[in-house]
Homo-oligomer: A and B are copies of this chain.
Amino acid sequence: MSQRARTCFFAAIFAVAALANQAIAYDGTVKKDVFTMPSYTTVNGKTIKNVRVGYETYGTLNAAKDNVILVCHFFTGNSHAAGKYKPEDAAPGYWDAIIGSGKAIDTDKYFVISSDNLVNVNTRDPNVTTTGPATINSDTGKPYGMSFPVVGIRDFVNVQKALLDSLGIKKLHAVAGASNGGIQSVEWSAAYPDVVERVVAVIAPGLEINAYGIEMLNMWSTPIVTDPKWNNGDYYGREEPMEGVAQSVKLVILSASGFGGLDKRYGRKWAADDKDPGAALSNVYAIEDGTYKAAAARAKTIDANHFLYTARANQLFSVAAEAKKIKAKFLFVPASSDQFFPPSMVRRWAEVLRAQGNSVDVFEIEGDGGHYDGLFQVSKASTAIRDFLAR
């Protein structure tokens, strides 16, 4: 081969390599896939046929299939954790600040996979695929409604495990998530201790939901079950309990918001300048109006029964009795102004894990946004997460 031919040959090789690299590297554009199981049997022994959940991936699975980070979603969230479906999308996935090329969860190194949960609340979001009470039961041709079996966080995890198995993935470099996603991450470490090497649990409670958390979830669910249109969960094909769902979401927003953030945003302003709340009971403050409207808009994609089932799954969360099985290293990321799962709660569980020999780091996000800081201020934990994943 002449010098010139050799030059061309290597140039061509490099070009192909670059092209291949470009084809497989994550550039922020994502698409949704769907994973299907012909049948899944719950922890409580109930069988659900034809389970389908959506998922997204960012980055490239390496040959050893050992560069995988599973990301689990929060209560009202879904698998859209990063990137955009189309460049013109209004916003990227919820954790885009820390998932991507060169970011804390670096898609140049890691293959990130994020799935919709069983009973995901957003049944009317076209980008969500889930299975739950709103799903047609193939045995009856009608939605399951309340005949859908109760599922727990362990069931969410078991379906994710089946998804990973289908991709030939046997090890997780890490499982990560915020809130209910953090809860799933911790559940993973107890359910599959030999699979999970690291847990990044952001704004999560620790090893269980306590009594207060159980009651908070009851509080969130109550507006749905007291809405006459809920009709014991039998509302498919008729008017749905959308007012109940809106009121439930309003409670979620309040629980997840921080004192300081709400004060800055709304203060004591009235909803309308000419409607003094001191003059009539129907005149309200800006925060009452704003929070309700935000909740009602958010409620549009949410199925009432899926909300109740997701709440129950969270109430059921406890791996405290299985702590001894857990082998993973932990990074807990509480938010300083989180009133739902305050840093003090997380630190208590961190001590339990340390006392039994687990490596546990705690990095606290400072802010006044409450629980939401685990979503909107997560970039403050970038270095802590990056360093933890490299250890």
- A residues adjacent to B (C-beta < 8 A): 43-44, 146, 150, 152, 208-212, 214-216, 218-219, 222-223, 226-228, 233, 243-244, 247, 250-251, 254, 257, 259, 262-263, 265-268, 276-281, 284-288, 291, 308-309, 312, 315-316, 318, 339, 342, 345
Question: Nearest-CB distance from A90 to chain B (Å)?
Answer: 26
Given contacts A150-B277, A210-B259, A210-B263, 11 further A-B contacts (CB under 8 A): A43-B278, A150-B281, A210-B267, A211-B287, A212-B262, A212-B263, A219-B251, A226-B243, A233-B281, A259-B345, A277-B315
The reply to whether B263 and A247 form a contact with Cβ atoms under 8 Å apart is no
How near does chain B come to A312, taking the closest CB pair, in angstroms?
A: 6
A96 to chain B, nearest CB (A): 28
Q: Are B312 and A216 in contact (CB under 8 A)?
A: no
CB within 8 Å for A208 and B268 given contacts A243-B226, A308-B281, A316-B277: yes
Shortest Cβ gap from A157 to chain B (Å): 15
Name the residue on B nearest A151 (C-beta): B278
Query: Chain A's interface: helix, strand, loop or mixed, by majority?
Result: helix
**In the complex with contacts A150-B278, A278-B43, A318-B268, A285-B214 CB distance below 8 A:** yes
Contacts of A216 in B (CB 8 A): 254
Closest B residue by C-beta to A257: B212
B284 near A218 with CB under 8 A, answer yes
CA distance A279 to B284 in the complex (A): 42
Given contacts A211-B285, A218-B288, A257-B212, contact A44 B268 (CB under 8 A): no
Distance, CA A278 to CA B45, complexed state (A): 11
Which of B210, B262, B263, B281 makes the CB contact (< 8 A) with A268?
B210
What B residues does A152 contact at CB under 8 A?
Answer: 278
Whose C-beta in chain B lies nearest to the C-beta of A155? B278
A161 to chain B, nearest CB (A): 19
Identify 16 residue pairs between A and B in the complex whose beta-carbon atoms are under 8 Å apart, listed by A's number: A44-B278, A150-B281, A152-B278, A210-B259, A210-B262, A210-B267, A211-B265, A212-B262, A214-B268, A214-B288, A215-B254, A215-B262, A215-B288, A216-B254, A219-B250, A268-B318
* A262 partner, pick from B211, B228, B342, beta carbons under 8 A: B211
| CA–CA, A16 and B263, complex, Å | 61
Residue of chain B at shortest CB distance from A280? B150
**B214 near A279 (CB under 8 angstroms)?**
no
CB–CB A315/B226 < 8 A? no
By the criterion CB–CB under 8 Å, are B44 and A279 in contact? yes
Q: Which residues of B contact A263 (CB under 8 A)?
A: 210-212
B316 touches A278 (CB 8 A): yes
* Nearest B-chain residue to A312, judged by Cβ: B281
Known: A312-B281, A316-B277. A259 touches B212 (CB 8 A): yes
Cβ–Cβ < 8 Å partners of A212 in chain B: 254, 257, 259, 262-263, 287
Chain B nearest CB from A139 CB (Å) reads: 19
Q: Quick one: which of A214, A265, A318 has the most chain B CB within 10 A?
A: A214
Could you tell me the distance in whole angstroms from the C-beta of A246 to the nearest C-beta in chain B? 10
Q: Which 3 pairs show the lowest CB-CB distances between chains A and B?
A: A211-B266, A211-B262, A211-B287
Interchain CA distance A364-B128 in the complex, whole Å: 48
Which residues of the partner chain B approach A291 to less than 8 Å between Cβ atoms?
215, 218
